[in-house]
A = this chain, B = another copy of it.
Amino acid sequence: MRRFDSDYLEGCLPEILEALSRSNLEQTPGYGEDPHCGNARRLIKEACGTPDAEVHFLVGGTQTNATVISSILRPWQGVVCADTGHINVHETGAIEHSGHKVMALPSREGKISAEQVKAAIEGHFNDANHEHMVQPGMVYISYPTEAGTLYGKSELRAISEVCRKAGVPLFLDGARLGYGLMSPSNELTLKDIASLVDVFYIGGTKQGALFGEAVVFTDTRLGKDFRYNIKQNGGMLAKGRLLGIQFETLFTDGLYLRAAGHAIRQAAKIREIFAGKGYRFLSDSPTNQQFPILPNGLVASLHAEFGFEDWCAIDGDHTAVRFCTSWATTDEAIKELAAAIPQRA
């Protein structure tokens, strides 16, 4: 069985296992106050070009989203996002659990536009009954999006401008950030992102770490007392150094981007396999998730040999499916997949 179900099928990059082994008997303080975390913070701030940013490490994506969002919003505020946004669909209501409405906007291939954001914010405050409605208190976008797509530089800049003009913080979910940065379609550097958003996170879990997400507050006022909130949300890892060691490793010698680059190249091969045999795609994804649309018969037969996710029904006879790649995707797996895909009828 060759699996392409997700980008977290294996353990971790070998460099990370080595670093964990090497440091195993060191004695360090807990809760992220150890030298490894300190070093990882320094490396990340350097990579982002933000010496004054605040960097915090959390364990997983849902936890990170809920902790960041609940740190920023007042009780009567909600977070504006794409209807396909992870926080709206796949977090079992973690945001609502913290008391806040997810204010979903219709999306296009996983993206929302500056115009939509502007209309949502202005529409709220212009409504005579606005005090009876949830106040838009921040904006959440994903890069890459859940559909694998990317915001262009002008698109992100436009959203950023709308948010700053309105005084509404902009949060970028970078669970797969490296895959975005290494995509041939990418127009943004890490420094661009750091300068355009107020807080974002650099995903580890889906990019070769055992687990871990690094939150970067470029607007440090939003991060005040954030460690309290991490603890309250159950995200304060006792052996916090595990996060430090992993991000230290990822941000040394370019490992983070190198590993992502491998995944991007493997994904491109998968895209070519399906495109070359005549299949269409749910979205035009230049990143590590590919969403070909397949006849249901093929979906069923492929599942016998390959792991992948059924994403959504297209019509009675066709399903969009998701193939993911990662640092660990082998050429052999790709070849076997290529051999198994017939020309489209």
Contacts and interface: CB of A to CB of B under 8 A. Distances in A.
Interface of A: 1, 3, 5-6, 8-12, 14, 17, 20-21, 23-31, 59-64, 66-67, 70-71, 74-76, 78, 89-94, 96-102, 128-129, 131-135, 205-206, 210-211, 225, 227-229, 231-239, 241-242, 307, 309-310, 328
9 shortest interchain CB distances as A-B pairs = A63-B234, A11-B24, A76-B228, A92-B231, A93-B134, A92-B232, A9-B27, A3-B27, A96-B101
24 contacts: A5-B29, A11-B25, A11-B242, A17-B20, A60-B237, A63-B234, A63-B235, A67-B234, A75-B98, A76-B229, A76-B231, A76-B232, A78-B96, A92-B134, A92-B231, A93-B100, A93-B134, A93-B232, A94-B232, A131-B227, A131-B228, A131-B236, A206-B238, A210-B242
B24 A17 contact: yes
Given A59-B234, A76-B225, A233-B234, 11 more contacts: A5-B29, A10-B26, A17-B17, A60-B236, A60-B237, A76-B231, A92-B133, A96-B99, A96-B100, A205-B239, A206-B238
B129 A90 contact: yes
A120 B100 CA distance: 22
How many copies of this chain does the complex contain? 4
Contact of A8 (B228, B235, B238): B238
Given A75-B98, A96-B101, A133-B89, A234 B235 contact: yes
A228 B10 contact: no
Contacts of A8: 30, 238-239
A9 B24 contact: no
Contacts of A241: 11
Contacts of A237: 59-60, 211
B91 A239 contact: no
A66 to B, nearest CB: 6
Contacts of A232: 75-76, 91-94, 97
B96 A238 contact: no
Contacts of A25: 10-11, 328
A134 B132 CA distance: 24
A231 B59 contact: no
A278 B98 CA distance: 49
A20 to B, nearest CB: 6
Given A14-B24, A59-B59, A98-B75, A211 B242 contact: yes
B27 A238 contact: no
Nearest to A78: B93
Contacts of A100: 93, 96
B235 A134 contact: no
Given A6-B30, A24-B10, A234-B60, A132 B90 contact: yes
A101 B102 contact: yes
B89 A236 contact: no
Given A20-B17, A92-B133, A132-B90, A229 B27 contact: no
A90 B131 CA distance: 9
